[in-house]
Structure 1
Amino acid sequence: MTVERLEILSGVVRRRRWSRADKERLVVETLEPGVTVTEVARRHDLDRGLLYRWRQELGVVRNTEPVGFLPVEGKPPVRAAFR
């Protein structure tokens, strides 16, 4: 087995710290019509799971009720008469 390329990362790798204002701004961005969490996450180099967690922490609940469906009333099934 031959290693063709070896990459060494040096320096201190730190986690990014997000202020509450930054979190709120990004979460609001995910609530815009036609925008997905995945798009926002890619745009800001984030994991989408982090955005979902922030949404949960901030108490954001999207309307999950289907749009465009009407209630349907049905009749009881008719029993066929056997002869």
Structure 2
Amino acid sequence: MGITLSQSEEKKAGSRKGRPNYDPVLRERLAAAACEPGVSVAKLAREHGINANMLFAWRRRYRARQQTESAALIPVVVLNEAPAVVAPTLPAESEGVKPVAPAGTIEIHIGRCVVRVDGVVDADTLRTVLGSLRS
């Protein structure tokens, strides 16, 4: 399967001898085309007269930009929704017994990483755990 883009966009002569500066629009289009399923990146690079390693680098940067742009919201799926249990208040004689908070589970899949939090977790602790995944 081959993808051929318009040949009207030629490479510009760069300020460095023998190293052309390619138009950012051309880079973006070739990187997007290289991300298509079934496309041979080496063949696409050869068809447009550029080095395959350069196209792989453009594709890597393109995917990184796409990921950061789309990372704002992630889908959430509720697997098992348990109704909240309201316990009746007990008389003053059982003051030594602490009330039991409703338990739940949060499971977050990020790439190959799975974060599972059981029980009651405050927002600051969860923010710290998720922040450590970024680094």
The normalised TM-score by structure 1 is 0.49
More helix by share: 2
More strand by share: 2
Kindly name which structure, 1 or 2, has the bigger radius of gyration based on alpha carbons. 2
Larger RCO: 1 or 2 (CA < 8 Å, sep 6+)? 1
The normalised TM-score by structure 2 is 0.32
